[in-house]
Amino acid sequence: EPEVTQTPSHQVTQMGQEVILRCVPISNHLYFYWYRQILGQKVEFLVSFYNNEISEKSEIFDDQFSVERPDGSNFTLKIRSTKLEDSAMYFCASSVTSSYNEQFFGPGTRLTVL
């Protein structure tokens, strides 16, 4: 069964460093998403991406964040200068369309900022 994959599973970085989180969405899906979940808190929407551009983004998704689909398969989230409060699980998801269709989530990347 096709699934969303994410790498790495755990990333440890120093405050102020740049990190890139990688995702491979399901191949026939057209919409891609990034979410984050701080330990013990709700899942929070960051950004949705369609047709090589951002379609929606939340207040969390400020200038420190960027997304890219550098080739036909990968979807990346870059955090330019990490802060302690960026420590969280980051989930990538994909869906066939943006509305009714369910979103399939990857296993997540645990980001720890020291």
Partner 1 sequence: KNQVEQSPQSLIILEGKNCTLQCNYTVSPFSNLRWYKQDTGRGPVSLTIMTFSENTKSNGRYTATLDADTKQSSLHITASQLSDSASYICVVSARSNYQLIWGAGTKLIIKP
CB of 81 to partner 1, least distance (A): 26
Determine if 44 is a binding residue for partner 1 (CB under 8 A).
Answer: yes
Residue 110 makes contact with partner 1 by CB under 8 A: yes
Residues 6+ apart with CB under 8 A from 59: none
Quote the CA–CA distance of 13 and 21 in Å, as a whole number. Answer: 12
* Site membership for partner 1, residue 5 (CB under 8 A): no
H or E element: which one contains 110? strand 109-113
**Residue 18, interface with partner 1 (CB under 8 A)?**
no
Q: What letter represents residue 69's amino acid?
A: R
User: Which of the ranges 60-68, 69-77, 78-86, 94-102 carries the binding residues for partner 1, by CB under 8 A?
Assistant: 94-102
43-50 and 10-13 as β-strands: parallel, antiparallel, unpaired? Answer: unpaired
What are the residues binding partner 1 (CB under 8 A)? 4, 41-45, 48, 56, 89, 91, 93, 98-100, 102-108, 110
